[in-house]
């Protein structure tokens, strides 16, 4: 089978021919049809992600496809079942073996591209806004990086939860994507004063921040008393340092969120969230936004779209 492998953190990943794997106890073998790319893939390729596997490994954290074979002790799935899986790695390949506990059956009408774009982006935003920040109807949500893979889902979910959403992104095209996802107000991170613009709109009760850097400083200063600040990631490359005394003045809470971490200590939170999201999808409340669909041969181009921030929503690799 073909797989997009990392063999050296100082060299780009490349296609390789590998033996087709077989499932062990509690595992499923999946014929992968689509794989969603994530910023974490870039970090993993360079050995900088918190859960980078030992070399060599295959990139690709989330996939959709069909079950081909089940290992011993697997009772929830059978060959032919259409599934999505958050495997953490191994997705940019024709076949993959995954823990059956990480797989979910797809609802009717959800194709492989939508499913591969779904789990991490929507799961991250839903757990952050609902479970961590307890976003309430009528509150003001500020979303930084609002046209990115997770940012657009935060805009969409914020609206489903009844919030007033301020979307901050770079440039007119990305702001239009955020507007189409339901944003009530738009801020151009390239030209606008983020702090002043948010304060003119009454301040933020919850901030969703996958960017960090200077935008963190501006958004933090635009928080209302008792605001909840969600640290999702640091796409800017700059991890902000928070002065504890600044938290005291407005009674602000800073909340971290690592979606995949719930698999190890509270998996029921993650699976419950995903069940809610699939219900919302079936009801037409949320729709994955995929700006680029590329074949496996162009996986490097897909990763570059993330690195250069040239995409909106998700980039998905299809595997024929």
- Tell me the mean pLDDT in the region 193-207: 98
- Tell me the mean pLDDT in the region 177-184: 96
**Boundary-marking domain end, from 210, 238, 259:** 259
- Residue 165 maps to which CATH number? 3.40.50.720
What pLDDT score was predicted for residue 163? 98
Whether residue 128 sits in one domain with residue 108:
no
Whether residue 142 sits in one domain with residue 230:
yes
What pLDDT score was predicted for residue 264? 86
pLDDT band (50, 70, 90) for residue 33? very high
How many domains does the chain fold into? 2
Residue 315 has pLDDT above 90, yes or no: yes
Task: Specify if 49 maps to a domain.
Answer: yes
What pLDDT score was predicted for residue 271? 85
Whether residue 103 sits in one domain with residue 45:
yes
Whether residue 213 sits in one domain with residue 105:
no
**Boundary-marking domain end, from 243, 259, 275:** 259
The pLDDT tens digits for 247-257 are 999 999 999 99
Task: Specify if 139 maps to a domain.
Answer: yes
- Tell me the mean pLDDT in the region 183-205: 98
Task: Specify if 273 maps to a domain.
Answer: no
Task: Specify if 270 maps to a domain.
Answer: no
pLDDT band (50, 70, 90) for residue 138? very high
Task: Specify if 267 maps to a domain.
Answer: no
Whether residue 152 sits in one domain with residue 102:
no
Whether residue 52 sits in one domain with residue 130:
no
Whether residue 238 sits in one domain with residue 126:
yes
What pLDDT score was predicted for residue 69? 98
Task: Specify if 155 maps to a domain.
Answer: yes
- Residue 106 maps to which CATH number? 3.90.180.10
Whether residue 174 sits in one domain with residue 107:
no
Whether residue 153 sits in one domain with residue 106:
no
Whether residue 141 sits in one domain with residue 66:
no
Whether residue 213 sits in one domain with residue 134:
yes
What pLDDT score was predicted for residue 260? 87
Whether residue 254 sits in one domain with residue 130:
yes
The secondary structure of 60-120 as a DSSP string is: -SEEEEEEEEE-TT--S--TT-EEEEE-SS--SBSEEEEEGGGEEEPPTT--HHHHHTTHH
The pLDDT tens digits for 290-308 are 999 999 999 999 999 999 9
Task: Specify if 280 maps to a domain.
Answer: no
Task: Specify if 182 maps to a domain.
Answer: yes
Q: Which domain holds residue 209?
A: 122-259
């Amino acid at each position: 089978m073909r797989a997009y492998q990392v063999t050296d953190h100082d060299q780009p990943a490349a296609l390789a021919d590998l033996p087709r794997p077989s499932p062990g106890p509690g595992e499923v073998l999946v014929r992968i049809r689509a794989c969603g790319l994530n910023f974490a893939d870039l970090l993993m390729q360079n050995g900088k992600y918190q859960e980078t596997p030992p070399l060599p490994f295959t990139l690709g954290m989330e996939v959709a496809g069909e079950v081909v074979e089940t290992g011993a002790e697997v009772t929830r799935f059978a060959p032919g079942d259409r599934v999505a899986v958050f495997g953490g790695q191994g997705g940019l390949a024709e076949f993959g073996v995954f823990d059956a506990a990480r797989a979910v059956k797809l609802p009717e009408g959800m194709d492989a591209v939508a499913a591969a774009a779904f789990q991490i982006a929507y799961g991250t935003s839903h757990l952050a806004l609902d479970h961590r920040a307890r976003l309430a109807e009528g509150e003001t949500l500020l979303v930084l990086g609002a046209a990115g893979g997770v940012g657009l889902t935060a805009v969409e979910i914020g609206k489903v939860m009844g919030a007033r959403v301020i979307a901050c992104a770079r440039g007119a095209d990305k702001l239009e994507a955020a507007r189409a996802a339901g944003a009530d107000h738009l801020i151009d991170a390239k030209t606008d004063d983020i702090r002043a613009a948010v304060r003119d709109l009454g301040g933020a009760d919850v901030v969703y921040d996958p960017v960090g850097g200077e935008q963190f400083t501006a958004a933090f200063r635009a928080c209302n008393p008792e605001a909840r600040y969600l640290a999702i990631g640091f796409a800017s490359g700059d991890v902000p340092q928070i002065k504890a005394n600044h938290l005291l003045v407005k009674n602000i809470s800073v909340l971290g969120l690592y979606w995949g971490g719930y698999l190890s200590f509270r998996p029921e939170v993650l699976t419950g969230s995903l069940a809610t999201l699939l219900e919302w999808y079936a009801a037409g409340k949320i729709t994955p936004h995929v700006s680029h669909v590329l074949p496996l041969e162009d996986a490097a181009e897909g990763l570059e779209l993330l690195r250069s921030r040239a995409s909106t929503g998700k980039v998905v690799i299809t595997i024929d």
